[in-house]
Amino acid sequence: MDDFQAAEVRRLRTVEQLSVREIRARTGLGRNRVQELKRYRVATGRLNTGDGYHGCPTVEVPRSRGSTGRSKGS
């Protein structure tokens, strides 16, 4: 039930752009509960892990040691 409530509160807040007071009136939830549920929870897991993922791209530049030192100020 919490997942549905959280999704509904986030939808009311983002899509319909209702205030917390208006969300409380529609859902019957308390102020603190609406505040908890309206927070956007970002998925923390990496999504790019399929067969097509080959890691971070790297670039090799011939004779780049000198330019690296100059760019760092050495």
In tens digits, what is the pLDDT along the chain, a chain of 74 residues?
578 888 888 889 888 889 889 999 999 999 888 888 877 665 656 667 677 777 777 778 787 666 655 666 65
Q: Record the tokens describing residue 22, joined without a space.
A: 């208006």
**How far is residue 54's CA from residue 31's CA, in Å, rounded to a whole number?**
46
Report the candidate in 4, 33, 9 with the shortest Cα–Cα distance to residue 19.
Answer: 9
Q: Residue 60 has what pLDDT?
A: 80
Q: Record the tokens describing residue 16, joined without a space.
A: 């319909």
**How far is residue 9's CA from residue 20's CA, in Å, rounded to a whole number?**
9
